[in-house]
Amino acid sequence: MTRSVFVAGATGAIGAPLVRLLVEAGWCVQGSTRRTDRAAALRQAGVEPFLVDVLDASALCAALAAARPDVVVHQLTDLPAVRTPEAMSAAIGRNALLRKVGTRNLVAATLAAGCRRMVAQSITWAYADGPLPHMEDDPLDTAATEERAVSVEAVRVLESLVLDTRGLAGTVLRYGRLYGPGTWAVDPPAEMPLHVHDAAYATLLAMGRPGATGAFNVSEPCPLLAGEKAGQVLGWAPGFRLPERTALCSP
C-alpha cells in the first residue's frame, strides 16, 4: 500500500532533498509552497503541489483535507536566502510567527484531516546553559533575552504543539547547524554541524518509525550534544549524501 505524506515547506533547504528522497522511496508526496514558480518545480519533481500559506488556517485545513496524508512533515521556516546580520534580525519575528501560529494551524489541520502522525524540525542551539553534552530532556533557554528569547520561545511553542497535543504522535528533530546545498554554508560550521542531506535522511527514518515519538538531537558528533538517541531509536548516522543533480529549487 502506497504511503502518503504532506511536506509543509517542501521547497526549503531540507524540504527539497527530503521530497526527492520520498519520491525515490515510493511515497505519494504532496508538498506546500507559497510561490507559484516553486509549485511548478515540485510538480516536475513528482510532487503534488499545494499553493497555500500556513498562516491562513482555513486554506490550510482545506489543503490537508484534500491531501488526506498518512504523515505530515513540518519543514517550515521564513529565513533570508543570504545571511547577513540585518537580514537575520528582520527575519526573527517572521520565523517565530511561523513556528508558533503556523505550527498551531498545521497541527489543527492535520488532526482535522484524520492524520495522527507528524515529524517536525527544531534546532539544537536552544538549550539553556548546563552540563555538556546536552541531552534531549535538558531544559530550553527560557531565560534568554532580546532576539534569542523570541527564537527560543517560538521553538518551545512549536515543540509543545507537536509533542503534547492529544491524539498526535509527534516527533521533533533538533537539527544541528546546516551546511551543504541550499544552505548558507558550504563547509561544516565549528559547532553542531549537520549536512542538509543528513537532516533529510533523519526525517525519512523518523517517518518510518511511528512509535519513535519525542525529541531527538540530530548532529554530527560534537562535544555539545548527545546524539546517541537518534542512532539507537531512528537508526540514523551521519554521512548520507544524495547523488548530485540539478537542484529542485533555489534556496
Cβ-based neighbours of 192, under 8 Å, separated by 6 or more: 124, 125, 176, 177, 219, 220, 222, 224, 225
Q: Which residue has the higher pLDDT, 81 or 242?
A: 242
Instruction: Tell me how far apart the alpha carbons of residues 99 and 73 are, in angstroms, rounded to a whole number.
Output: 13
Total number of domains in the chain = 1
Look at strands 193-195 and 177-179 and give their pairing: parallel
- pLDDT value at position 247? 43
Q: Is residue 245 part of a domain?
A: no
Q: Domain of residue 165: give its range.
A: 4-234
- pLDDT value at position 251? 31
The dihedral region occupied by 227, where left means phi > 0, alpha psi between -120 and 50, and beta the remainder, is alpha
Please say if the pLDDT value at position 116 is more than 90.
yes
Cβ count within 10 A of residue 65 = 12
- What would the grid cell of residue 120 be? 517536525
| Backbone angles phi and psi of 218, in degrees to 5 | -130, 100
For 61-83, the pLDDT digits (tens) are 999 999 999 999 999 999 988 88
For the chain, give the mean pLDDT: 95
For 134-181, the pLDDT digits (tens) are 999 999 999 999 999 999 999 999 999 999 999 999 999 999 999 999
- pLDDT value at position 248? 43
DSSP per-residue letters across 184-234: S-SSPPSSSEEEHHHHHHHHHHHHT-TT--EEEEE-SS-TTB--HHIIIII
CATH of the domain at 167: 3.40.50.720
Cα–Cα–Cα angle for 57, 30, 242, rounded to 5 degrees? 125
pTM summary value:
0.95
Q: Is residue 239 part of a domain?
A: no
Q: Is residue 242 part of a domain?
A: no
Q: Is residue 229 part of a domain?
A: yes
Output DSSP code: residue 32: E
Mean pLDDT, rounded, for 26-32: 97
- pLDDT value at position 245? 63
Q: What percent of the chain has pLDDT over 90?
A: 93
Please say if the pLDDT value at position 12 is more than 70.
yes
Q: Is residue 163 part of a domain?
A: yes
Q: Is residue 240 part of a domain?
A: no
Please say if the pLDDT value at position 115 is more than 70.
yes
Q: Is residue 135 part of a domain?
A: yes
**pLDDT band of 2, cuts 50, 70, 90:** confident
Q: Is residue 241 part of a domain?
A: no
